Amino acid sequence: MKVMHTIRDTPKNPAGLCALSVDNDGGYLAYPGNSQNGEVQVFDAINLV
């Protein structure tokens, strides 16, 4: 197995919260973007951007 991309500079996430959504058109990973408010980062897991 080879690492293809690393997501850096994420806030503390002690509960390990994240969500992965996959369908025929793509796949997205959502994870906390800020530990102070409800900001969420959405990452295109297919195109790695």
Number of compact structural domains in the chain: 1
End-to-end CA distance of the chain: 20
pTM of the model: 0.77
Long-range CB contacts for residues 30-35, cutoff 8 Å, separation at least 24: 31/7, 35/11
Task: Check whether 49 has a pLDDT greater than 90.
Answer: no
* Domain around 7: 1-49
The predicted-structure confidence for 17-38, as pLDDT tens digits, reads as follows: 999 999 888 999 999 999 889 8
Q: What is the pLDDT of residue 35?
A: 86
Mean per-residue pLDDT for 11-21? 93
